[in-house]
């Protein structure tokens, strides 16, 4: 006992010294991971605006990239106007990529399990503290898997081609959804009817099988763009400086490479250098351009937002939809399509769009990923393949009138998902260099835990709230 006390005292003193040492912290990336990192740094017990200068740099200065011109540009207009996260003109570019165009599903059954429980709990706490139900659409919900058959959309027939040559579907069988790792094989689905409150699905004609996956006890949702914008604003309110249109070109180290010294970025055509003691790279699919050895890849995903004639019940649906002969053929994964390219299928084909009902009177639906167009310079240059959006519209309209003929398309959009991680922690032997990227389709779910862990790494010297486990970046190098 006599020998342990001095050791504890030394460790406590060391941690206290680390926390109060002046720091210039630079966060690269204005997506949900960067915004949550900024938020939790300002909520750390040792944070002091006099001691810690925090700057968040976002490469884009526009949120219009990845959306068609006729798409709704501010989702806050659909929510409660008195409480929703208002759009800050100075924050244009924040959540301009996947963080603004994701589904926003949260689940205790997500992965990786070493950080999921912490993050799910933090989501609930954040919503209670900041009015997340009104501000960013937080609510508990159900998640289900459905097996169904689509109706033909107007203008297409199972017996005629309408002057178009039919195409074979063989090469595109089994187009997979984003959360495919959580789905059961179609043969394993129980032949059950859907719950009564799932009244926006055409269960009489379309449904073949239904299986519950999550309940309000372990499943929830947020509107990702409103959540990210709120985290950014709450961080700025506590002293974080947010600079958009600032594309980082280099992380500069000391002569011996032992620590971070500064960050170089370009804004308005001018190169600027920002002194930095701690640099957090939270650039999503763009991370590898700054940290080539971190295994983060990019895939493009398309989605649509449909305004329904009435609010639809709180379900996230993982679908398996059989498209009948004559249905518009989905755009091939490796091709650039246009709406006019849709031709009738000769055979059948299974597709797996995912559908998320939202409390703002809309439903979000996304399709499979593609790698047709390389990752652009920033989120502002993301291209939308309208044909892929039309695919989703045809498919979900084939199983629901609320999402089809009775609904209104509000947005057609695309983004790049970061794949390969998540990676959270210090990079190599360079003091002050931290990565928080590669969160796959669970980035919104795991953002709060990531932000909290990064704040502990920087201000405590180690992660305290959860183990990094397989998220340790050393496993990527």
pLDDT score at 181 = 55
pLDDT score at 335 = 77
Token pair 């239904």 is found at 210
pLDDT score at 206 = 83
Which helix (H) or strand (E) element contains residue 130? helix 116-130
Which of helix, strand or coil describes residue 5? helix
Mean pLDDT of 100-119: 97
pLDDT score at 381 = 96
Lowest model confidence (mean pLDDT) among 204-218, 230-244, 331-345: 331-345
High-pLDDT (> 90) share of the chain, %: 77
Lowest model confidence (mean pLDDT) among 8-22, 312-326, 387-401, 463-477: 8-22
Which of helix, strand or coil describes residue 291? coil
Q: Give the pLDDT band (50/70/90) at residue 179.
A: low
* 217 pLDDT above the threshold of 80: yes
Q: What's the rounded Cα separation, in Å, for the pair 16 and 459? A: 9
Phi, psi of 439 (to 5 degrees): -85, 5
Q: What's the rounded Cα separation, in Å, for the pair 65 and 415? A: 9
Closest CA to 265 of 240, 288, 245: 245
Residue 424: C-alpha distances to residues 71, 274, 386, 427 (Å):
34, 23, 35, 9
Asked if 387 contacts 341 with a C-beta cutoff of 8 angstroms, the reply is yes
Q: What's the rounded Cα separation, in Å, for the pair 215 and 341? A: 40
pLDDT score at 113 = 96
| Domain ranges (residues) in the chain | 21-137+222-296+420-475, 139-214+298-418
* 159 pLDDT above the threshold of 70: no
Domain 21-137+222-296+420-475 fold is: FAD/NAD(P)-binding domain (3.50.50)
Mean pLDDT of 52-75: 95
* 71 pLDDT above the threshold of 60: yes
Lowest model confidence (mean pLDDT) among 78-82, 155-159, 337-341: 337-341
Closest CA to 205 of 308, 295, 324, 330: 324
* 420 pLDDT above the threshold of 50: yes
Q: Give the pLDDT band (50/70/90) at residue 182.
A: low
pLDDT score at 79 = 73
pLDDT score at 81 = 66
Closest CA to 392 of 356, 419, 355: 355
pLDDT score at 212 = 93
Lowest model confidence (mean pLDDT) among 233-237, 260-264, 351-355, 370-374: 370-374
Closest CA to 455 of 446, 445, 464: 464
350-393 per-position pLDDT tens digit: 999 999 999 999 999 999 999 999 999 999 999 999 999 999 99
Q: Give the pLDDT band (50/70/90) at residue 153.
A: confident
Which of helix, strand or coil describes residue 419? strand
134-152 per-position pLDDT tens digit: 999 999 999 999 999 999 9
Count of CA atoms in the C-beta half-sphere (13 A) of 455: 26
Asked if 37 contacts 25 with a C-beta cutoff of 8 angstroms, the reply is no
Closest CA to 119 of 471, 477, 476, 473: 471
Q: What's the rounded Cα separation, in Å, for the pair 125 and 172? A: 43
Mean pLDDT of 234-246: 98
- DSSP bridge pairs for 86: none
17-63 per-position pLDDT tens digit: 445 689 999 999 999 999 999 999 999 999 999 999 999 999 999 99
Kindly report the average pLDDT of the chain as a whole number: 89
pLDDT higher for 288 or 155?
288
317-344 per-position pLDDT tens digit: 999 999 999 999 999 877 776 655 678 8
- Evaluated on CA atoms 194, 198, 199, 205, the torsion sign reads negative
pLDDT higher for 36 or 14?
36
pLDDT higher for 180 or 398?
398
pTM for the full predicted model = 0.90
| Burial 187-198, CB ≥16 within 10 A → b, else e | eebeeeebeeeb
pLDDT higher for 186 or 133?
133
pLDDT score at 3 = 43
| Maximum Cα–Cα distance across the chain | 90
């Amino acid at each position: 006992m006599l020998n342990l006390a001095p050791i504890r005292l030394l460790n406590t003193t060391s941690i206290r010294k680390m926390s109060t040492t002046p720091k210039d912290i630079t966060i690269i990336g204005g997506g949900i991971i960067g915004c949550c990192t900024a938020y939790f740094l300002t909520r750390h017990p040792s944070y002091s605006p006099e001691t810690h200068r925090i700057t968040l740099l976002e490469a884009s200065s526009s949120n219009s990239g990845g959306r068609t011109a006729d798409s709704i540009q501010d989702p806050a207009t659909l929510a409660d106007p008195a409480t929703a996260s208002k759009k800050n003109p100075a924050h244009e570019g924040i959540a301009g990529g996947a963080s603004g165009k994701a589904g926003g599903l949260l689940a205790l059954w997500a992965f990786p399990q070493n950080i999921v429980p912490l993050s799910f709990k933090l989501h609930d706490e954040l919503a209670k503290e900041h009015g997340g139900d009104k501000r960013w659409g937080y609510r508990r919900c159900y998640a289900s898997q459905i097996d169904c058959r689509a109706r033909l959309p107007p203008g297409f027939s199972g017996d005629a081609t309408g002057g178009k040559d039919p195409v074979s579907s063989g090469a595109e069988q089994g187009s997979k959804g984003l959360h495919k790792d959580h789905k059961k094989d179609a043969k394993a689905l129980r032949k059950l009817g859907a719950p009564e409150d799932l009244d926006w699905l055409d269960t009489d004609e379309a449904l073949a099988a239904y299986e519950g996956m999550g309940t309000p006890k372990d499943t929830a949702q947020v509107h990702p763009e409103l959540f990210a914008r709120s985290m950014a604003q709450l961080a700025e309110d506590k002293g974080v400086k947010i600079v958009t249109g600032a594309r980082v070109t280099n992380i500069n180290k000391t002569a011996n490479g032992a620590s971070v010294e500064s960050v170089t970025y370009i804004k308005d055509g001018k190169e600027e250098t920002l002194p930095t003691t701690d640099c957090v790279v939270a650039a999503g699919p763009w991370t590898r351009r700054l940290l080539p050895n971190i295994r983060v890849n990019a895939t493009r995903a398309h989605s649509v937002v449909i305004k329904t004639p009435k609010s639809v019940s709180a379900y996230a649906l993982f679908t398996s939809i059989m498209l009948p002969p004559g249905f518009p053929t989905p755009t091939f994964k490796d091709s650039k399509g246009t709406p006019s390219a849709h031709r009738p299928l000769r055979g059948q084909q299974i597709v797996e769009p995912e559908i998320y009902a939202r409390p703002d009177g809309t439903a979000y639906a996304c399709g499979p990923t593609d790698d047709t167009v390389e990752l652009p310079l920033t989120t502002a240059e993301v291209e939308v393949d309208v044909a892929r959006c039309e695919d989703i519209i045809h498919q979900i309209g084939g199983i629901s009138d609320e999402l089809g003929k009775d609904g209104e398309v509000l947005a057609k959009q695309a983004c790049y998902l970061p794949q390969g991680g998540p990676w959270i922690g210090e990079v190599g032997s360079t003091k002050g260099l931290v990565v928080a990227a590669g969160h796959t389709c669970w980035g919104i779910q795991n953002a709060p835990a990531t932000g909290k862990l990064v704040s502990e790494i920087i201000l405590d010297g180690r992660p305290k709230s959860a183990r990094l486990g397989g998220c340790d970046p050393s496993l990527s190098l």
